[in-house]
Amino acid sequence: MSGPEKPDQHELRTLVARAQSGDPRAFENILVLYQHGLLRFCRSMINSSGEAEDVLQEVYLSAWRQLSTLQSPEALSVWLYRIARHRCIDHLRKRTPLPQDFHDEEGNPGPRQVLEPRANASLESSAETRAAIVELRRFVNELPATQRECWVLKEVHDLSYSDISKIVSAPLTTVRGRIARARVTLAERMQPWK
Amino acid sequence: MEITQVSDLPYSCGRSEDELWSRLSMPPDQHELGCPYCQAQRQRLAPLAKATTQWKIGNDSENEADTALLGSIRGRVMDGIKAEIRRGTRFTLRITTLGTLRISGYVLLETLREVVDSIRGVALRTHKILPGSHPESISMSINLALEAGEDGVRLTNGIRDALRARFAQAIGISLDDIDINLEDVFHDF
Amino acid sequence: MTSSSQSIPAKIRMLAIQAARQEPGVREIYAPTHSIWKELAGKKVPEHDLLRLSWRGDSVSAQLDIGLLKDANALEVAGMVQQRIHAVLADYLENPDALNVDVTVL
**Secondary structure of chain C as H, E, C letters:** CCCCCCCCCHHHHHHHHHHHHCCCCEEEEECCHHHHHHHHCCCCCCHHHHCEEEEECCEEEEEEEEEECCCCCHHHHHHHHHHHHHHHHHHHCCCHHHEEEEEEEC
Short-list A96, A18, A27, CA closest to A59: A27
Is it the case that chain A and chain B have 3 or more CB pairs lying under 8 Å apart? yes
- Nearest chain A CA: its distance from B182 CA (Å): 13
From the list B79, B96, B172, the residue facing C76 with the nearest CB is B172
Phi then psi for residue A131, to 5 deg, are: -65, -40
Spatial distance between the Cα atoms of A30 and A15, rounded to a whole number of angstroms: 7
Contacts of A106 in chain B (CB under 8 A): 1-3
Decide if C50 is inside a domain: yes
**Angstroms from A87 CA to nearest CA on chain B:** 16
Q: Smallest Cβ distance to B101: which of C33, C79, C99?
A: C79
* pLDDT at position B189: 66
Mean pLDDT computed over A168-172: 96
Q: A169 and chain B: CB distance < 8 Å anywhere?
A: no
pLDDT exceeds cutoff 80 at A106: no
Task: Flag whether pLDDT at B81 surpasses 90.
Answer: yes
In single-letter form, the type of residue at position C40 comes to: L
Which residues on adjacent β-strands are paired with residue B72?
none
Residue of C nearest to B95 (CA): C102
- What is the SS3 assignment for B41? helix
Residue C3 lies in a domain: no
pLDDT tens digits, B13-56? 878 888 889 888 888 889 988 898 888 889 999 999 999 998 88
**Is A51 part of the contact surface with chain B (CB cutoff 8 Å)?**
no
From chain B, pick out residues whose CB is under 8 angstroms from the CB of C99: 98
A to C contact (≥3 Cβ pairs closer than 8 Å): no
pLDDT tens digits, C2-26: 444 468 899 999 999 999 999 999 9
* Average of per-residue pLDDT across B150-172: 96
pLDDT (average), residues A46-62: 93
SS3 (DSSP) at B145 = strand
- Is the pLDDT at A60 greater than 60? The verdict is yes
Domain extent at residue C22? 10-105
Cβ-nearest to A133 among B55, B66, B70: B55
Q: What is the mean pLDDT of chain A?
A: 85
**What's residue C53's pLDDT?**
93
CA distances from B150 to A8, B14, B187 (A): 20, 55, 10
User: For the segment A112-126, what is each residue's pLDDT rounded down to a tens digit?
Assistant: 333 443 444 444 446
Q: How far is A182 from A163, CA to CA, in rounded Å?
A: 18
Residue A96 binned pLDDT confidence (cut-offs 50, 70, 90): low
CB-CB under 8 Å, C102 with B100: yes
Phi (first) and psi of residue A174, to 5 degrees: -65, -45
DSSP H or E run through B103? strand B100-104
Is residue C1 situated within a structural domain? no
Is C4 a member of any domain? Answer: no
* Chain B residues near residue C40 by CB distance under 8 angstroms: 76, 79-80, 83
DSSP secondary structure string, A140-172? HHTS-HHHHHHHIIIIIT---HHHHHHHHT--H
Which pLDDT tens digit goes with each residue over C50-80? Answer: 999 999 888 999 999 999 999 899 999 999 9
- Mapping DSSP to helix (H, G, I), strand (E, B) and coil, where does residue A52 land? helix
Which of A151, C79, A35 lies closest to B95 in space, CA to CA? C79
* Average confidence (pLDDT) over A125-149: 86
Q: Where in chain B is the domain with CATH 3.30.70.1350?
A: 90-186
- CATH code, domain with C46: 3.30.70.1350
Closest-CA residue to B94 (of B134, B129, B136): B136
The model's confidence at residue A129, banded by pLDDT at 50, 70 and 90, is confident
CA distance A143 to A106: 11
Neighbouring-strand partners of residue B186: B147
The pLDDT value given to residue B154: 96
pLDDT of res. C80:
98
Q: Is B99 in contact with C86 (Cβ distance < 8 A)?
A: yes
How does residue A132 score in pLDDT terms, banded at 50, 70 and 90? confident
The CATH number for B90-186, chosen from 1.10.1740.10, 3.40.50.300, 2.60.40.420, 3.30.70.1350, is 3.30.70.1350
- Cβ contacts of A139 within 8 Å, gap of 6 or more: A185, A186, A189, A190
Q: Is B87 on the interface with A (CB under 8 A)?
A: no
- The residues facing B95 across adjacent strands are B100
Nearest CA distance, B138 vs chain A (angstrom): 17
Whether there are 3 or more C-beta pairs closer than 8 Å between C and B is yes
The share of chain A scoring above pLDDT 70, in percent, equals 82
All structural domains of chain A, each given as residue ranges with its CATH number in brackets, are 1-98 (1.10.1740.10), 102-194 (1.10.10.10)
Contacts of C93 in chain B (CB under 8 A): none
Determine phi and psi for B119, rounding to 5 degrees: -105, 120
